Structure 1
Amino acid sequence: MVGRKKKTKICENVSTLEDSISQLPEHLISEILFHLSTKDAVRTSVLSTKWRYLWQQVPGLDLDSYAFSNFYKFVSFVDRFLYSNNESCIRKLQLYIGHHHGMCDISSWIDDVARRRIQHIDLSFDISYRLDKIPPLRLYICETLVHLRLFGATLVDVEFVALPCLKILHLDLVRYLNESTLEKLISGSPVLEDLTIYRYLAYNAKVLQVRSKTVKRIHIDDFKVVIDAPLLQRLRTKIYETKKFEIINLGFFTKLDIHLVFRRHRTYNSSMIHDIITDISRVRELVINNGIWKDIFLYLKSGPVQQFRNLSSLNAEFTKSDLEFLPLILESCPKLESLTLEVVKVQSMRREKKIDPKVVFSTVPQCLVSSLKFVELKRSISGYEGERELIRYLLKNSTVLKKLRLDLYYSQRAMNVFLKELVAMPKCSTGCEVLVL
């Protein structure tokens, strides 16, 4: 009886909720369906007679061609949706098109939505089969487009680009008949804020010029680029063999996210290290993996002490063998407020020392005394004996620390022993909260 009563109550709640939504004006229901995929929106047609055709009024199309039993049905569905009411506004077009895309006219679809006040275009093509039909010229002069994302497409060369509302441009594995097309897309977007470009150039391609007075976030892969963006807040990039990006504006940007793709037995030249250190000195937040720490520290030790006075947040990976350099980096960051440290496996076992290094602080870094408020330690590998001493040191000497978060790799038995030791550790900051995951 108890189970039946609960079931009846749940059904009553669902029925009440459904009735409440059905009583909304159709334009509000259409707005709710707009945030669903087209497949899910169509499913609502079985709810009642009122809902049967509401999905057709949704100003957006979000489809995966593989969701259809064959490609002809996918093409037929898109055609009927776009041309059944070709005077209505279409705000969003999001399609994933499989390798049969040659049997549909992508250009005509884009041309149609571009004249219907489209705001969001997201097109993905199977990279095994390159797109042989390129978007129409109307795409480059769309006055309402705000967000453009293309994956696996090919863009036609144009003389003129005018995208007055475009704020987000995301190009992934996109080819260009003329490389100048990309620079025209950037310069022809006067309010662009977010730019992502992933591996579109050959290694011998010319240097890309990113010149924008409005762009705030840039995510680029491994290709040559010169950035002139005075409002830049975040740069995210990869480095394979050499540093290929250059920032020529003199302002300070907020965040630098560097991922170095490891190559065995590789060292970086001093010029490259100097350039990276210069970029680090200009940011307030730094995210960096372990691929280059040893080279940075050796460079720092060879000259005068480098002070990263703007750095307030550091999210870094270290190998066990590189942890001995941690005191030097903390001494170089007198205003550091947040430290996230992850101990990871070294890529090449030849670089790993057989004896775990000890993190030795000859003095207490300035940041521990005056600014460091949050520390997170992560360890996804077992076997670092110096971990407890590092935690003990941080708790004992961090004057203003508010939270210490520990995400560690222990067996249940070892964790119990560690927790007992942790409770007994003295804390300089009495208000510090310690969380163990």
Structure 2
Amino acid sequence: MVVGRQKKKTKTCEHGKEDLLSQLPEPLISEILCRLSTKDAVRTSLLSTRWRNLWRWVPDLDLESDSFSKSNFDAFVSFVERFLVSHRDRELWIRKLRLCFGYHHHRPICDLTSWIDVLTTCRIQHLDVYCWSNHDIQIPLNLYTCETLVHLLLCYVTLSNAEFVSLPCLKIIHLVDNTYPNETTLQKLISGSPILEDLTITRSWNDDDNATVLQLRSHTLKRVDIDEFTQVVIDAPLLQALKATVSTKNFQIVNLGSSAKLDIDYSGHATCSSSMIHDIITDMSRVRELVIGNAIWKEIFQYSKSEPALLQFRDLSRLNVQFSKSDIELLPLFLESCPKLETLVMELVTDRSMRGKKEQEPKVMFSTVPQCLVSSLKFVQWKRSISGYEGETELVRYFLKNSKIVEKLRLDIYYTEKAKCALLQELLTMPRCSSVCEIHCSVIPRDKYRRTFRFKG
């Protein structure tokens, strides 16, 4: 007689006790689920009976149509609606929801109006809506009167024509490549957000986009980020930071904060005019912190040859600049124009226009010691992840020798192992004008392994 192998019995908890997972306190379970992706949070329903429905009560969810069958968009819609209904019926809070309509669905038909109604009832604070498919997702009018919304991101969607906008809690708006029925709708979205602090607008060249120059008049706006296709007039007395990519002069500053930061770069899609560079230099003279890309630095370098007196940045305290080897010779002139500079970050990058050609390496020539090195400069950083620059050692030596109150000189540089050892030895022997100066050296060898060295003065 052949006896079949018996299956092992699943071990159960003794004396009817619950498993350890089920004994966890609800606040801890909620924290665990909030830290998981939505897909993993749903999977926890298999852990135990108690966990079966807990994922439905998580206040943060990330829902993507591409997570479902490519041919079954209805399953995605049904899943979202069941989730929203369960929250509405239980009067649960939805803190954050990310809805993504993916590439694979050709008929993204859903009732967004009813979805937004539920989200409003559930006190939604953070809403992201993406539409990567070829069909428009139109944002319904009821979104424009959500009283609890704090953060809104809309990407590749179409906005409805708004007669009235009231978003009393909205602080952050990110608008990426959307379609607007007219300029007024976009204007009302911003003006109807009375405590707006952070605004990002990215526009694609689209004939259906009827919004043109945007008037940003706000007493709360602190940060603005625009691309080259967005034109704005800024009247924001509390503005702390403006980040702009330009091909033409696409922004006009009427008013901004007294300690504002300007982060500017050039897209290279058009030829810079002299008037545009003149206007940008004028705007640069009004800010306390400046981040400037290599392409716009190159244009300023060329313009300064005919108008050197225009470079006057008397209030600038922080400068972060990218330049190529051929444009580094402007540095002394620029430092002469910044008598109150406290922080200087210099990054050597590749000049894309010189690909296939040999870049010139002019030496940086200081005829005098700029005022900032004597009285204000406290931090200097030199960054280079490309092949060597012949004048690098002398440039470092110059800053150490002439910076009277500098507290830290940081080097983030690429070197071979052999050249690294020689550099470190040379750094130890360089004279320093400041008795409190520290050198922080992060040398990046060929294998990208980073090792940090510190030398105290």
The two structures have a TM-score, normalised by structure 2, of: 0.84
1:130-162 C-alpha deviation (Å, 9 max, x unpaired): 32x422211101111111101111011011101
Match of 1:336 in 2: 341
Alignment of 1:205-216 (within 5 A): 206-216=212-222
Alignment of 1:329-368 (within 5 A): 329-349=334-354, 355-368=360-373
Match of 1:280 in 2: 284
Task: Say which SS state the counterpart of residue 348 (structure 1) adopts.
Answer: helix
Paired amino acid for 2:166: A
**CA distance change for structure 1 residues 312 and 121 in 2, over 3 Å: closer, same or farther?**
same
Match of 2:398 in 1: 393
Match of 2:239 in 1: 232
**CA distance change for structure 1 residues 135 and 298 in 2, over 3 Å: closer, same or farther?**
closer
Q: CA deviation at 1:404?
A: 1.3
Paired amino acid for 1:391: V
Quick one: distance in 1 between partners of 2:425 and 2:393? Answer: 12
Aligned-pair identity in percent equals 60
Query: In angstroms, what is the RMSD of aligned CA positions?
Result: 2.4
Quick one: distance in 1 between partners of 2:64 and 2:355? Answer: 47
Shifted more, 248-257 versus 315-324: the winner is 248-257
Does the aligned pair in 2 maintain the 1:190–1:214 contact within 8 Å?
yes
1:106-134 C-alpha deviation (Å, 9 max, x unpaired): 332223212322111111111x4132x42
Quick one: distance in 2 between partners of 1:145 and 1:200? Answer: 26
**CA distance change for structure 1 residues 354 and 173 in 2, over 3 Å: closer, same or farther?**
closer
Does the aligned pair in 2 maintain the 1:118–1:145 contact within 8 Å?
yes
Shifted more, 324-333 versus 292-301: the winner is 292-301
Larger of the two Rg values belongs to structure: 2
1:306-351 C-alpha deviation (Å, 9 max, x unpaired): 3312211111111111111100111111111111111111121289
Does the aligned pair in 2 maintain the 1:107–1:134 contact within 8 Å?
no
Match of 1:424 in 2: 429
Match of 1:76 in 2: 78
Paired amino acid for 1:167: K
Task: Say which SS state the counterpart of residue 189 (structure 1) adopts.
Answer: coil
Paired amino acid for 2:392: E
Match of 1:59 in 2: 59
Q: CA deviation at 1:43?
A: 2.8
Quick one: distance in 2 between partners of 1:351 and 1:98? Answer: 40
Quick one: distance in 2 between partners of 1:355 and 1:117? Answer: 60
Match of 1:169 in 2: 173
Does the aligned pair in 1 maintain the 2:140–2:159 contact within 8 Å?
no
Alignment of 1:408 with 2:410, yes or no, is no
Q: CA deviation at 1:234?
A: 0.5
**CA distance change for structure 1 residues 287 and 22 in 2, over 3 Å: closer, same or farther?**
farther
Does the aligned pair in 1 maintain the 2:239–2:256 contact within 8 Å?
no
**CA distance change for structure 1 residues 19 and 234 in 2, over 3 Å: closer, same or farther?**
farther
Does the aligned pair in 1 maintain the 2:346–2:383 contact within 8 Å?
yes
Match of 2:452 in 1: none
Quick one: distance in 2 between partners of 1:344 and 1:206? Answer: 34
Task: Say which SS state the counterpart of residue 175 (structure 1) adopts.
Answer: coil
Quick one: distance in 1 between partners of 2:81 and 2:211? Answer: 39
Match of 1:106 in 2: 112
Q: CA deviation at 1:299?
A: 3.8
**CA distance change for structure 1 residues 282 and 312 in 2, over 3 Å: closer, same or farther?**
same
Alignment of 1:27-46 (within 5 A): 29-30=29-30, 32-46=32-46
Q: CA deviation at 1:81?
A: 0.9
Point out where structure 1 has 5 or more consecutive residues left out of the alignment: 1-17
1:393-427 C-alpha deviation (Å, 9 max, x unpaired): 01111111111111112211111222221211111
The two structures have a TM-score, normalised by structure 1, of: 0.88
Match of 1:269 in 2: 273
**CA distance change for structure 1 residues 303 and 392 in 2, over 3 Å: closer, same or farther?**
closer
Quick one: distance in 2 between partners of 1:369 and 1:330? Answer: 12
Paired amino acid for 1:268: C
Quick one: distance in 2 between partners of 1:235 and 1:379? Answer: 26
Point out where structure 2 has 5 or more consecutive residues left out of the alignment: 1-18, 443-457
**CA distance change for structure 1 residues 283 and 162 in 2, over 3 Å: closer, same or farther?**
same
Instruction: Give the alignment partner of residue 191 of structure 1, picking from 186, 190, 195.
Output: 195
Quick one: distance in 2 between partners of 1:34 and 1:194? Answer: 25
Does the aligned pair in 1 maintain the 2:235–2:256 contact within 8 Å?
no
Q: CA deviation at 1:168?
A: 0.6
Task: Say which SS state the counterpart of residue 176 (structure 1) adopts.
Answer: coil
Quick one: distance in 2 between partners of 1:52 and 1:305? Answer: 68
**CA distance change for structure 1 residues 22 and 169 in 2, over 3 Å: closer, same or farther?**
farther
Q: CA deviation at 1:179?
A: 2.6
